């Protein structure tokens, strides 16, 4: 089968990771890279065609598909240009920086009938797919709720090299929690309301260093989320899965999902049930192991993108779904600053009908 001719827009931290994965993938042919730092990228990527302007990449290299790994603020512009050129897109998360720009991107992708996949790579882990399958199989019955943590200590250099990270929009809600919100939506279904409290007392930055969120799901399940980037713990999805060498493996679960017939931890997938499916607090409860092999989610994401482009599989996350994860995450930031519960159903509806103008903006 002919290879998919692919370009990469933005060869920074994650763009370089995509380039490494593409180099080992037989179904893709890299036809060009676009980065404003073209000289530096050309030196790092010998043999690759490097363009300073992404529009030249589209016009001259004429890729079938592109990975958009530029800064958030450029995602919509890059994605719209790709759609107009008939180029399928794998677009990094968050889908865009703001809901209005997401609406423009969704319209152009739909108009051009190009395929889209948002780079919430967690969806491609076998542990995540197995969790979804176990829940669908009724292993813990109807889900009553979830208790989750994402807490780690970012080093001082993280803020020194990028001072925007200590300002509004640069904190853990919009940078880190969006992955977890997307994971929750993917595994437990749509989020319909949120409340939140945030604090900046530990670091003293303008942006939050810690937050707690209350989450209501369409299914009736409820969730609590504790988030902090200034606490030393083994409880982040990155550490629990060992998904990248920069986050050393802890193997610890940071999610506890609770159902009418049992409970399950993630990512360990340890399952807790009583004999014979009993529901009785006086009966003993036992753990049972479920195994899911660890794979490279970025390679699995490329495999899936290939299948989406070839029409073999529907996209696990088209741009319109990525916008919902953005909307829910922005609402948590807003709920924390406004100190009130936010109902998301009207916002989803308004967004879906292209009336996003009234929705608060602000992701970076």
Ligand X SMILES: NC(=O)c1ccc[n+]([C@@H]2O[C@H](COP(=O)([O-])OP(=O)(O)OC[C@H]3O[C@@H](n4cnc5c(N)ncnc54)[C@H](O)[C@@H]3O)[C@@H](O)[C@H]2O)c1
Q: Which residues bind to ligand X, rule: CB under 6 A?
A: 9-15, 34-37, 54, 69-72, 74, 92-93, 119, 121
- Cβ distance to ligand X smaller for residue 29 or 296: 296
- How far apart are CB 15 and ligand X at their closest, in Å? 6
Report the C-alpha dihedral over residues 75, 80, 86, 91, rounded to 10 degrees.
20
- Cβ distance to ligand X smaller for residue 35 or 321: 35
- Cβ distance to ligand X smaller for residue 71 or 277: 71
CB 79 within 8 A of CB 108: yes
- Cβ distance to ligand X smaller for residue 45 or 273: 45
Q: What is the CA radius of gyration of the chain?
A: 21
- How far apart are CB 2 and ligand X at their closest, in Å? 27
| CA distance linking residue 117 with residue 103, whole number of Å | 15
- Cβ distance to ligand X smaller for residue 74 or 191: 74
- Cβ distance to ligand X smaller for residue 94 or 259: 94
- How far apart are CB 355 and ligand X at their closest, in Å? 26
First to last CA, the chain: 40
Exposure string for 27-59, b = 16+ CB within 10 A, e = fewer: bbebbbbbbeebeebbeebeebbbbeebeebbe
Return the residue nearest ligand X (CB atom).
12
- How far apart are CB 343 and ligand X at their closest, in Å? 27
DSSP 95-162: S-SSHHHHHHHHHHHHHHT--EEE--GGGG-HHHHHHHHHHHTTTT-SEEEEEEEEE-B--HHHHHS-
CB 70 within 8 A of CB 78: yes
- How far apart are CB 191 and ligand X at their closest, in Å? 20
- How far apart are CB 271 and ligand X at their closest, in Å? 28
- For residue 220, count other CB atoms closer than 10 A to its CB: 12
- Cβ distance to ligand X smaller for residue 10 or 171: 10
Query: Which residues does residue 90 pair with via DSSP β-bridges, in sequence order?
Result: 67, 117
Token pair in block for residue 136: 């669908």
| CA distance linking residue 68 with residue 72, whole number of Å | 10
- How far apart are CB 72 and ligand X at their closest, in Å? 5
Q: Is the Cα dihedral 104, 105, 109, 110 positive or negative?
A: negative
CB 42 within 8 A of CB 68: no
- How far apart are CB 121 and ligand X at their closest, in Å? 5
Give which of 20, 47, 44 is closest to 32, Cα–Cα.
47
- Cβ distance to ligand X smaller for residue 69 or 135: 69
């Amino acid at each position: 089968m002919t290879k998919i001719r692919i370009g990469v827009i933005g060869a920074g931290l994650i763009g370089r990771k995509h380039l490494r994965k593409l180099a080992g993938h037989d179904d893709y042919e890299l036809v060009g890279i676009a980065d404003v730092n073209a000289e530096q990228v050309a030196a790092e990527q010998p043999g690759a065609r490097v363009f300073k302007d992404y529009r030249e990449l589209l016009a001259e290299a004429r890729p079938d598909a592109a990975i958009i790994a530029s800064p958030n603020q450029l995602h919509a512009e890059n994605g719209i240009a790709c759609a107009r050129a008939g180029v399928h897109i794998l677009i990094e998360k968050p889908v865009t920086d703001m809901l209005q720009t997401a609406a423009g991107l969704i319209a152009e992708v739909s108009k051009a009938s190009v395929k889209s996949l948002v780079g919430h790579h967690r969806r491609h882990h076998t542990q995540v797919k197995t969790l979804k399958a176990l829940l669908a199989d009724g292993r813990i019955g109807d889900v009553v709720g979830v208790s989750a943590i994402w807490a780690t200590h970012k080093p001082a250099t993280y803020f020194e090299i990028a001072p925007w990270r200590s300002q509004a929009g640069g904190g853990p809600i919009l940078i880190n929690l969006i992955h977890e919100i997307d994971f929750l939506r993917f595994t437990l279904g749509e989020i319909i309301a949120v409340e939140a409290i945030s604090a900046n007392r530990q670091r003293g930055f303008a942006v939050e260093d810690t937050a707690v969120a209350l989450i209501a799901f369409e299914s009736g399940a409820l969730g609590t989320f504790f988030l902090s980037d200034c606490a030393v713990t083994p409880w982040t999805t990155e550490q629990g899965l060992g998904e990248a060498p920069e986050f050393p493996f802890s193997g610890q679960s940071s999610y506890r999902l609770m159902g009418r017939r049992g409970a399950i931890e993630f990512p360990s997938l340890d399952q807790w049930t009583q004999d014979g499916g009993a529901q009785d607090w006086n009966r003993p409860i036992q753990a049972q192991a479920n195994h899911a092999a660890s794979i490279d989610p970025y390679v699995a994401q490329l495999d899936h993108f290939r299948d989406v482009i070839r029409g073999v599989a529907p996209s696990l996350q088209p741009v319109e779904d990525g916008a919902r994860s953005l909307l829910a995450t922005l609402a948590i930031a807003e709920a924390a600053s406004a100190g009130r519960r936010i109902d998301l159903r009207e916002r989803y509806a308004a967004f879906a009908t292209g009336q996003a103008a009234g929705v608060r903006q602000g992701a970076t």
